[in-house]
Structure formats: structure tokens, C-alpha cells
Amino acid sequence: MAAVPEYFGSLVFDDREMKANLPAGVYKSLRRTIEQGAKLDIGVANAVAAAMKDWAVARGATHFTHWFQPLTGVTAEKHDSFISPSPDGGVIMEFSGKELIQGEPDASSFPSGGLRATFEARGYTAWDPTSYAFIKDKTLCVPTAFCAYSGEALDKKTPLLRSMEALNRQALRVLRLFGNDKVKRVNTAVGPEQEYFLVDAAMYDKRRDLRFTGRTLFGARPSKGQEMDDHYFGAIKPRVAAFMADLNEELWKLGILAKTQHNEVAPAQHELAPIYTTTNLATDHNQLTMEMMQKVAARHGLVCLLHEKPFVGVNGSGKHNNWSISTDDGVNLLSPGETPYENAQFLLFLCAVIKAVDDYQDLLRVSVATAGNDHRLGANEAPPAVVSVFLGDELSGVLDAIEQDVPYEGVAKTKIKLGVDVLPKFPRDNTDRNRTSPFAFTGNKFEFRMVGSADSIACANIMLNTAVAESLKIYADRLEGAEDFETSLHEMIRKTIKDHKRVIFNGNGYDDDWIQEATEKRGLLNYRATPDCVPHLLEKKNIRLLTSHGVFAMQELASRYEVTLENYCKTIIIEANTMVDMARTEIIPAIEAFVLDTAKAAAAKKELVPGCPCAYETGLVKKLSALTDQIAAKTAELEEAIVTVAGVGEVGAQSAAIRDVILPRMSELRLPCDEAETLTAKKYWPFPTYGDLLFGVR
Ligand code: ADP
Ligand code: MG
């Protein structure tokens, strides 16, 4: 095997390849498009397409595809081959600039949330030159945005790019006010830590719930769970290690900076973190990472579960969205500086984030709302559904001092330095860790921990970027008109702290007392379930935010509302139907078979030993018969509820009905089934148990 630097990015048409394969003039115009969004001339596009095609064909590619991210959350691709007939009966390999720039997949099979009804069914994909093309499965994949013909976005990438633009616009205004004329572009960067489970493929195949829904709908707790804390950072098992090595290699070839891997808290749970990169690229890379995890797992006889809560009673999986803002000349704006002046700028950006999180708690919650993620947020697991910001004692102390206009005498015992009026200098290294906070400052970045493991990180970053752009806009508006910059700056920072300190919380976010304090004393929002929060997407203040920064048009928001709730409803209805099927065709028959054999054993014993009371068998048969009756009754109730809910028309009302009627009935059906599992001989049970799944990979 070659050394990593030799094959890293070997399947990516990256800057190195562009430079090597494009005429100098073409390369220069393409860079201008990538860096400044300049329009690409068709001659240039033709030259780029030809070079890309030659490069891809030399690496075995036969097809190309526009690779995009529809609202389903997974990526979509439609493959066309490069072949084109030549007059001599053979073929030549062709790829035109037009084919590179724009494609026309049929939009009608992708969710549009009503946009299809009002607009044309056709959609088009448009090349996103800021994300490099790559080869996957002998196909040249061109990252693209996906829109309706009338221009509305039907994907997650378009609004993400718009939100990055909005933040860039407002951050540049603020930097100019600080006298910085050099910076040309401000970008956000993300490093998403991805959690996942690995289970044995043969066992997975035996469970309809895993195959149809990605999570277990039944299953008694195993006698060993995660209580020993022996899995976290534990030695990696050989089969898992082989999977990880293979996965890294695939990701490195795709230019993805896979960096850290370790076992997570739950048995069979693992994590992979890449080195952070520009948000747009990080989003594409995370989608590819999830896809590769599943593909590579299959090669190792494993299945990678990306669901947020595959097992009840053990930790679920999330995605930690590490997020920072930096300039094109490499300054991290969320990093405390060396001089008081730099610190003033840092504090302003910090305040912009705090204000954004407080003002738009609801949008952040909406951005991570899925049926799967509801099992983490709002259930008994960290992080909670209440959005709060962790800053650590040091930084909180600094903000307190500013708010109260007193000298800062915190841990560092640093006196206020009067460079920019009264803003203090404090140590750079402020990396307290708090694993329960949904939104934690970790030294030079924020870690948004509410994102679900299966979800695209696009939505979370769209909301985050836009909300922060809004804070910065408010600051820039005020500072541009200020008589005295420093006084205004100081006042604004103070005001932000005063108005928004309710969202800062350094304690245990897992605690019931906190939830009570947050909601009752501080007035923070606590939307436990998806149907509770998604309607707030269409609140006036949120529509104003998202439309005024050009991130979403009104119709696009209405469409996202529809699609998000539709997804929620479909997911849970599929789960409910799967439960009904499994209970009726697998669980009840298994219990019956065991009961019959137990009864037969008792009869045989009575014949052998006349007068034998057979108390054990009688008790067991009685208990299991009662459970079977319960299961049958609860199955019927759930089935009835599914029919009722299907009749509820509007998607908001339907999602609420599903939350209130279907989910409780699913829990009620599960209970007797799980109890029966603990009483039924293992060889009768129709599918692998939690113990088999969680400890089955060696
Ligand atoms: P952990 O949070 O597990 O202690 P790290 O803090 O080292 O681990 O990094 C977690 C993730 O944060 C990695 O993907 C890393 O690349 C990313 N990260 C580090 N610095 C930044 C930054 N400035 N902006 C965005 N992401 C970052
Ligand atoms: Mg982390």
C-alpha cells in the first residue's frame, strides 16, 4: 500500500489537478469563479469539462453525475455515461461545458413540499465550483445545487451557500469598522464529529425493524449495557479496526481529512472526526463520509447504523458541529487575541453568537428536528432540547465584569487593560469541557451538539450562519452611524450581555433542575418533539430573518415546513406498521410455540410423575398467555390508531396526532413484548437480542 500522502485526494479533481490539467488562462478564470463567484464563460466551462473528463477516464470512470442534496437528507445522483457514438461505429468519450454546468434531473420524485404544485415539476442542477468534483464508483461526481425551474431551491446546498454569503457580507462590514481593509472574504468552517454504531450484518438481516427503520422497535435490556464505562476510548476490536482502516483509506482518496477515531460511550458505538474545513465542503464531505461508512461496513460483514437512537437504554448518536468564523487571511474571529484591540473584536463576534443563539433558539431547534433525533433531545439524554450556551467560568467572569463595569479579577487575576476603553485581556486557552451543553464554546470555536447523527449538517449551519449574520448586521448598522466607535462598541457589548445572559449556562444540562430553571425562570424554549418546534419556522420574526438575508424565499420556507413534517409522519408510520407486523407474525407465534412446548413438557411430567404440580410450567404458561393477550390487544389498538391518523389531512395536525396517539401506543405495545422476551427460551425468540447486537462484533 502506498503512503497516505501519495494517494490522498487521488480521486478528487482538486486545485493540484486543475493547475496541472488546465491551460493557465482557463485555470485563472476558474479560480476567479471559485473565489469570487464570477460568472463562468462557456468556453472556459468547455475546457474545464474536457480536462475533467480526461482526468476521470484515465482513472477508470465511465460515467458522470450531478451529485446533489435533495430534501430527503441523503445525496442523489443520476448517472450518464460519457460515451457518444462515432461515425465508424465505435464510441468516443465526451463531456461538454453545458453538461458540467447544468443538468436536468426529473424533480418530480424528490420532496418539494408543495413547490411542485405551484411551480414547474422540472428542476435543474447547477455546478457548485466551490466543491471539487470527485470519482466514486467509476463515476465523475460533480457537486451541484438543485433548484426548481422557477428558481426556488429544492436542496440543502443552495440555502447553505446563501447563508455563508450573508454572514460574509455582515462580517466584512464589522471588520471594516475595526479598520481592517485587507480581508476579502469571511468564511465559516466546520469539523463535524460523526457517531455511529456497527452491528453484525447477519444479525441485522434478521431484524425487520433495523432493516426498515434503522432502529430497534423491540428488545429487552441486556444484562450488560454501558454501565461499566469500559467501551469509551477502549481498545478497538480487530474487525472494527479493519473497518476503520479501510474507511480511512476510502475517505483519504476522496480528499476527506478523516483524523480521529475511537470507541464511544455505548457498546458497539464509535466516532469519526475529520479536520475542519469550509462549511460547504464539510457538508459535502460529511454526506460522503456517511455513505462510505455504510459501503465499507458491508465489505466487512457489518452494518453501520447512523440512526440517532438505534437502541433504547444505551446512548444515542449525534453529530458535534464544531463551528468557527475566520477570514481569508487565516484569522479565527472566535479566537481571543493578543492585544486589547483584537480582544474587543473577539468579544464582539462572541456576543454576536450569544445573541444569535438566544434570539433564534427556536430555529436552531428546528434545524435539528427529526423523528430520530427526538429520542435524544427532549428524552433523558444529553444534550437537552433547551438551547443554552456554555462559556466556561473564565469567559463568563469576563462578561460579568463588563456587564457590571467592574475590573475583571477572575482566575487569571488580570486587570483590565485600557487599549480599547475597558475591555479586558484574558488568557487564550479557555477550553473547559462540558459534555452536556448543546452549544459550547471550546476555546476558539463553538460546538453545536444537537445535530442528529443521520442528518445533514446543512440545516444547522444555515440557521447558525444566518442568525449570526443578523447580530452582526445590527452591530454594523449601529457602529457605522456611531459618533464615538469605542464608546458605542463598549455599550453594545454590555447591552448584549445584559439582554442575553439568560442563555448562558455552565452547569449540567442533563439535570432536571436546569430544565425547570431554564423554562420557568429564564424563559428559554423547550420544544421536546419535532411537531412542537417545526411550526415556529413560519413565525414572523423567523421569516423576516431568513428572507431579509436572502437565505430562503417565503415559498421555500413553506416547502421546508411541509417536507420536515412529512418526513416525521412517514418515519413514524413506517415504524408503527413494522411493529404491528413483527408483533403479529414473529413475536406472538414465537411465544405460542414456546408456551406449547412448555405445556407439553408439563403434561409429559404429569404422566411420568402422577400428581406432579408442575408449578413452574403452569406459572410460566399463565404469565405468557396473559402477555400474549396484551400484545394482541395493543397491536390492534396501534393498528386502529394508524388508520385514524392517516385520515388527518393537514401535515401539522397529522404530526401532532402522531406524537400524541401513535408514539404512546408504540411504547405500550413494546412493553409486554420486551417482558415476554425475558421469559421465552432464547432459541424460540425470532430475532437477535440487544445482547447479540451490542456485543456481537469481535
Ligand atoms: P474534541 O471536541 O473531541 O475534544 P477537538 O476539539 O480536537 O476534539 O476537535 C473536534 C473537531 O473540531 C474536529 O473535527 C476539529 O477539526 C474541529 N475543529 C478544531 N478547530 C476548529 C475550528 N477552529 N473551527 C471548526 N472546527 C474546528
Ligand atoms: Mg467534541
42-80 per-position pLDDT tens digit: 999 999 999 999 999 999 999 999 999 988 777 888 888
pLDDT-based confidence at residue 419 (cuts at 50, 70, 90):
very low
How would you classify the pairing of strands 139-148 and 63-67? parallel
pLDDT-based confidence at residue 468 (cuts at 50, 70, 90):
very high
| Measured distance CA(292)–CA(248) in Å, rounded | 10
How would you classify the pairing of strands 123-127 and 139-148? antiparallel
Protein residue whose Cα sits closest to atom 1 of ligand 1? 193
Q: What is the pLDDT of residue 405?
A: 80
Residues 6+ apart with CB under 8 A from 335: 324, 346, 428, 443, 444
Q: Is 691 exposed, middle or buried (0-12, 13-18, 19+ CB in 10 A)?
A: middle
Protein residue whose Cα sits closest to atom 13 of ligand 1? 191
Q: What is the pLDDT of residue 119?
A: 46
Q: Of 127-141, 218-232, 367-381, 595-609, where does mean pLDDT reach its minimum?
A: 218-232
Q: How far is ligand 2, taken at its centre, from the CA of residue 322, in Å?
A: 7
pLDDT over 90, % of the chain: 75
Q: How far is ligand 1, taken at its centre, from the CA of residue 321, in Å?
A: 9
Q: How far is ligand 2, taken at its centre, from the CA of residue 305, in Å?
A: 20
CATH: 3.40.50.720, 3.40.640.10, 3.10.180.10, 3.30.590.10. Which one for 163-552?
3.30.590.10
Is residue 470 over pLDDT 90?
A: yes
Q: What is the pLDDT of residue 417?
A: 41
| Measured distance CA(676)–CA(672) in Å, rounded | 6
> Hunting for cell 460522503 — which residue is that?
288
Q: Where are the beta strands (DSSP E) in 533-596?
A: none
Q: Are 524 and 386 in contact (CB under 8 A)?
A: yes
Q: Of 99-113, 326-340, 463-477, where does mean pLDDT reach its minimum?
A: 99-113
> Hunting for cell 476579502 — which residue is that?
184
Residues 6+ apart with CB under 8 A from 438: 383, 384, 386, 387, 388, 448, 449, 450, 509
CATH topology for the 567-694 domain? Four Helix Bundle (Hemerythrin (Met), subunit A) (1.20.120)
Dihedral pair phi/psi, residue 199, rounded to 5°: -130, 165
| Measured distance CA(531)–CA(655) in Å, rounded | 6
Pocket of ligand 1 (CB under 6 A): 189-191, 193, 273-276, 322-324, 332, 442, 444-445
Q: Which atom of ligand 1 is nearest to the CA of 273?
A: 14
SS (H, E, C) 506-542: CCCCCCHHHHHHHHHHCCCCCCCCHHHHHHHHHCHHH
Q: What is the CATH number of domain 4-155?
A: 3.10.20.70
Which residue among 445, 448, 451 has the greatest number of ligand 1 atoms within 8 angstroms of its CB, and so is best to mutate?
445
pLDDT-based confidence at residue 361 (cuts at 50, 70, 90):
very high
Q: DSSP 3-state assignment of 92?
A: strand
pLDDT over 70, % of the chain: 93
Which residue among 276, 289, 325, 446 has the greatest number of ligand 1 atoms within 8 angstroms of its CB, and so is best to mutate?
276
Question: How does pLDDT run across 318-355, given as a tens digit for each residue?
Answer: 999 999 999 999 999 999 877 767 788 999 999 999 99
Q: Which atom of ligand 1 is nearest to the CA of 431?
A: 6
Q: How far is ligand 2, taken at its centre, from the CA of residue 113, in Å?
A: 34
Judge if 4-155 and 567-694 fold alike in CATH terms: no
Q: Of 130-139, 281-290, 396-405, where does mean pLDDT reach its minimum?
A: 396-405
Q: Which ligand is nearest to the CA of 446?
A: 1
Question: How does pLDDT run across 389-400, given as a tens digit for each residue?
Answer: 999 888 888 888
Q: Of 99-113, 458-472, 674-688, where does mean pLDDT reach its minimum?
A: 99-113
> Hunting for cell 438566544 — which residue is that?
358
Q: What is the pLDDT of residue 587?
A: 98
Q: What is the pLDDT of residue 420?
A: 44
Q: Of 165-174, 378-387, 591-600, 668-677, where does mean pLDDT reach its minimum?
A: 378-387
Dihedral pair phi/psi, residue 140, rounded to 5°: -80, 115
The average pLDDT across 532-539 equals 98
Q: How far is ligand 1, taken at its centre, from the CA of residue 352, in Å?
A: 21
Q: Which atom of ligand 1 is nearest to the CA of 191?
A: 14
> Hunting for cell 442523489 — which residue is that?
76
Q: What is the pLDDT of residue 431?
A: 54
Is residue 433 over pLDDT 70?
A: no
Which residue among 321, 322, 335 has the greatest number of ligand 1 atoms within 8 angstroms of its CB, and so is best to mutate?
322
Is residue 413 over pLDDT 60?
A: no
Q: What is the pLDDT of residue 29?
A: 93
Domain boundaries, the chain: 4-155, 163-552, 567-694
Q: Are 418 and 339 in contact (CB under 8 A)?
A: no
Q: How far is ligand 1, taken at its centre, from the CA of residue 191, in Å?
A: 6
Protein residue whose Cα sits closest to atom 11 of ligand 1? 191
Is residue 432 over pLDDT 70?
A: no
* CA within 13 Å, CB half, 697: 29
Q: How far is ligand 2, taken at its centre, from the CA of residue 572, in Å?
A: 30
225: its cell numbers:
449495557
Is residue 224 over pLDDT 80?
A: no
Q: Which atom of ligand 1 is nearest to the CA of 322?
A: 26
Q: DSSP 3-state assignment of 274?
A: strand
Residues 6+ apart with CB under 8 A from 100: 45, 48, 49, 52, 127, 142
Q: How far is ligand 1, taken at its centre, from the CA of residue 190, in Å?
A: 8
DSSP string of 142-173, one letter each residue:
EEEEEEETTS-B-BSHHHHHHHHHHHHHHHHH
Q: What is the pLDDT of residue 338?
A: 74
Q: How far is ligand 1, taken at its centre, from the CA of residue 383, in Å?
A: 18
Q: What is the pLDDT of residue 445?
A: 95
| Measured distance CA(314)–CA(526) in Å, rounded | 23
Count the helices and strands in the chain (H runs, E runs).
25, 18
Cα torsion at 16, 18, 22, 24 (round to 10°)? -70
**Average per-residue pLDDT for the chain:** 91
Instruction: Name which of 53, 24, 27, 52 is nearest 40 in CA terms.
Output: 27
Dihedral pair phi/psi, residue 585, rounded to 5°: -100, -10
